[in-house]
């Protein structure tokens, strides 16, 4: 799976910008739970971090959780992801 990590002061601006690209599902995460669950449940493919919010050690833990996670492919998560994709396709037409 292709993934990316973007960083800015709060992480918010980087997340807003990343989500403007088709196919990007960026999530702002400041803890390991959000990082792995975002991938497992919502197929997040870009991790956004706030450099002024979390320290280097936690940032590395969050990035590791994000990179080590895999999308669950559970029916309810696939269904939700397909709804998001349809919405995205509708906006681009």
Q: For residue 81, count other CB atoms closer than 10 A to its CB.
A: 16
**pLDDT at residue 90 in the model:** 82
8 in catalytic set: yes
**87 pLDDT tier (thresholds 50, 70, 90):** confident
46 is in which domain, residue-wise? 4-92
Q: Domain with 57 in it: what CATH number?
A: 3.40.1400.10
Across the range 19-43, mean pLDDT stands at 96
Q: What percent of the chain has pLDDT over 90?
A: 86
77 in catalytic set: no
**Catalytic site residue from 8, 15, 36, 48:** 8
Alpha-carbon distance of 31 to 75, in angstroms, equals 26
The two tokens of residue 69 are 């996670």
The two tokens of residue 50 are 């706030």
The number of domains in the chain is 1
The two tokens of residue 6 are 């973007």
Say if residue 7's pLDDT is above 80: yes
**Catalytic site residue from 29, 30, 36, 41:** 41
**pLDDT at residue 38 in the model:** 97
**pLDDT at residue 8 in the model:** 97
């Amino acid at each position: 799976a292709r993934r990316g990590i973007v960083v800015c002061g709060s992480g918010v601006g980087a997340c807003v910008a990343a989500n403007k690209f088709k196919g990007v599902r960026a999530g702002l995460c400041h803890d390991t739970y959000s990082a792995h669950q975002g991938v497992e449940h919502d197929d997040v493919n870009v991790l956004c971090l706030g450099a002024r919010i979390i320290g280097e050690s936690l940032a590395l833990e969050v990035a590791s959780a994000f990179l080590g996670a895999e999308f669950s492919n559970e029916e309810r998560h696939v269904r939700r992801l397909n709804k998001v994709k349809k919405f995205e396709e509708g906006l681009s037409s």
